[in-house]
């Protein structure tokens, strides 16, 4: 599972979710003249972040690591 995934905030704003920290890592403004630009940039940024970031641990691996 990739660490950074595209999502939408509670207000419907395109954003990047950090699955390791379970929080929004970035949000994008939507240009009314080019609304698809935010979605395209969201995909590009997720790909870039995931290419350099370690993957998020799976829930099972996290439990085993902490002994829970």
Q: What is the full per-residue pLDDT of the chain (68 aa) written as tens digits?
A: 899 999 998 898 999 999 999 999 999 999 999 989 999 999 999 999 999 987 656 666 555 665 55
Q: How much is the pLDDT for 64?
A: 61
Task: Decide: helix, strand or coil at residue 42.
Answer: helix
Q: What total number of domains does the chain contain?
A: 1
Q: Position of tokens 């890592």?
A: 25
Strand ranges for the chain from DSSP E? 4-8, 14-18, 23-27
pTM: 0.74
Q: How much is the pLDDT for 53?
A: 86
Q: How much is the pLDDT for 35?
A: 87
d(CA 37, CA 52): 23
> Which helix H or strand E contains 33, and what residues bound it?
none
Q: How much is the pLDDT for 1?
A: 83
Which of the 8 DSSP states describes residue 31? B
Domain housing 45: 4-66
């Amino acid at each position: 599972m990739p660490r950074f995934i595209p999502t939408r905030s509670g207000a419907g704003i395109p954003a990047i979710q950090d699955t390791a920290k379970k929080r929004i890592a970035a949000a994008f403004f939507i240009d009314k003249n080019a609304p698809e630009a935010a979605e395209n940039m969201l995909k590009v940024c997720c790909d870039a972040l995931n290419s350099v970031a370690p993957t998020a641990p799976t829930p099972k691996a996290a439990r085993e690591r902490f002994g829970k």
